[in-house]
Amino acid sequence: MSTVTYKEASCLALAEEMRRDPTVWTLGEDVGDGGVFGQYTGLRDEFGPDRVVSTPISEATIMGAAVGAAMVGTRPVVELRFADFALCAMDEMVNQAAKARYMFGGQTRVPVVIRQPIGMWRSSAAQHSQSLESWYVHTPGFVVLAPGTPADNHGLLKSAIRCDDPVIFMEHKDSWDVEGEIPDGGDKTVPIGKAKIIRPGEDLTIVTWSGAVQVALQAAEAAAGKGVSVEIVDLRSLWPWDKEAVFQSVEKTRRLVVLHEAVKVCGFGAEVAATVSETMGDRLATPVRRLGAPRIPIPYAPPLENLCRVRVADVMTTVEEMGV
């Protein structure tokens, strides 16, 4: 095992896949110079400008070109810089990438990975902070991944690149420097659609993903100090999502909190909560609770930005309210 950051993990994964498969290439603004967050550092030196393609600020065509390139036999990894900027490529993602295989009757595949970093980070304000994962889960055709740890960023990116479906790949900007271990050897993938129990517990289940994993870990530690044993399920894959892992955990704890950074209203937590309620509501000791951002644009000023974050104290309050 090697200790790397979340950012380095993704760079290693892409380099490994590009060595493994000559049809893998990447395109986006500044990727030839390492990318906006340094997550492409060194790739152009190794693979050249035809496979690590710096592009104009043309999100629609970055994405549309990737669709065309994917349909004729290559595997583009698209960098859209911020999930907020990806909205300039909504037609190319939703109407083209996600639908081409279906509407052309299976004549083609669109094996493209669409990287769009999400989340609140350093006063980035309303147009550089959003977590819009639920939009994509709502759209048939997409796989949606949101890794929360270096190992998952490494292993899931590799799986995404090998996947024949279009994959929305959301990295959290606040996690770039989070350190963790990844396997040596470069061939270990993380399966799409499998959650991970990152902290076992008995009294209450927190289902979470992406940057909120760090909040959940801190909250679980605080809860332990009060004698409450919290189990954390990191979904990692939002579509498909690992219902069985969630059901098993809730079967044991009988209490569920879904915690995410995105706006609570119509966030993916609503799908998790509804599914658990429909499937095993009669086994719950208390109703499912959701924690997410208020439905306001993300403000700039740090104290106001913090009001959008689900904090450890919020989780603790909820845990207490659930009567554990």
Q: How far is CA 284 from CA 23, 45, 108, 193, in A?
A: 49, 55, 44, 24
Binding-site member from 45, 107, 185, 302 for another protein (CB under 8 A): 107
Among 11, 13, 100, 168, binds another protein (CB under 8 A): 100
Could you give the CA distance from residue 238 to residue 117 in angstroms, rounded to a whole number? Answer: 15
128 is catalytic: yes
**What proportions of the chain, in percent to the nearest 5, are helix, strand and coil?**
40, 20, 40
> Do residues 69 and 96 lie in contact, with contact meaning Cβ atoms separated by under 8 Å?
no
Distances (CA, A) of 262 to 16, 25, 75: 31, 30, 29
Contact 155, 188 (CB under 8 A): yes
Q: Measured from the CB of residue 164, what is the shortest distance to another protein in angstroms?
A: 5
Which listed residue (146, 163, 195, 272) binds another protein by CB under 8 A? 163
The smaller minimum CB distance to another protein, of residues 2 and 55, is found at 55
Is residue 244 close enough to count as binding another protein by CB under 8 A? no
Residue 136 binding another protein, by CB under 8 A: no
Per CB under 8 A, which of residues 54..83 are in contact with another protein? 55-56, 58, 60-61, 63-74, 76
Task: Look at residue 50 and give its three-state secondary structure.
Answer: coil
Q: Find the shortest distance in angstroms from Cβ 109 to another protein.
A: 8
Min dist CB 98 to another protein, Å, is 8
C-alpha atoms less than 13 angstroms from C-alpha of 302 in its C-beta half-sphere? 1
Question: Binding segment for another protein among 122-130, 161-169, 224-232, 279-287 (CB under 8 A)?
Answer: 161-169
Q: Does 149 bind another protein (CB under 8 A)?
A: no
C-beta of 281: minimal distance to another protein in Å? 21
- Residue 180 engages another protein in binding (rule: CB under 8 A): no
96 is an interface residue for another protein by CB under 8 A:
yes
Stretch that binds another protein, among 49-57, 195-203, 216-224, 302-310 (CB under 8 A): 49-57
Question: Which one of 142, 169, 176, 268 is in contact with another protein (CB under 8 A)?
Answer: 142
Give the one residue of 20, 21, 95, 279 binding another protein; rule: CB under 8 A. Answer: 95
Burial grade of 302 (CB within 10 A; 0-12, 13-18, 19 or more): exposed
Residue from 140, 200, 287, 297 in contact with another protein (CB under 8 A): 140
Strand partners, 167: 113, 143
Burial of 181 (0-12, 13-18, 19+ CB in 10 A): middle
User: How far is residue 88 CA from its own chain's centroid?
Assistant: 19
Using rule CB under 8 A, residue 34 touches another protein: no
Contact 36, 115 (CB under 8 A): no
Q: How far is the CB of 242 from another protein (least distance, A)?
A: 11
Give one word for 28, left, alpha or beta, with left for phi > 0 and alpha for psi -120 to 50: left
Q: Is 278 in the site for another protein (CB under 8 A)?
A: no
Give the angle 302-296-147 at the CA atoms, nearest 5°.
75
Footprint on this chain of another protein (rule: CB under 8 A): 23, 25, 50-51, 53, 55-56, 58, 60-61, 63-74, 76, 91-92, 95-96, 100-108, 140-143, 163-166, 192-193, 239-240
Q: Which residues are catalytic?
A: 128
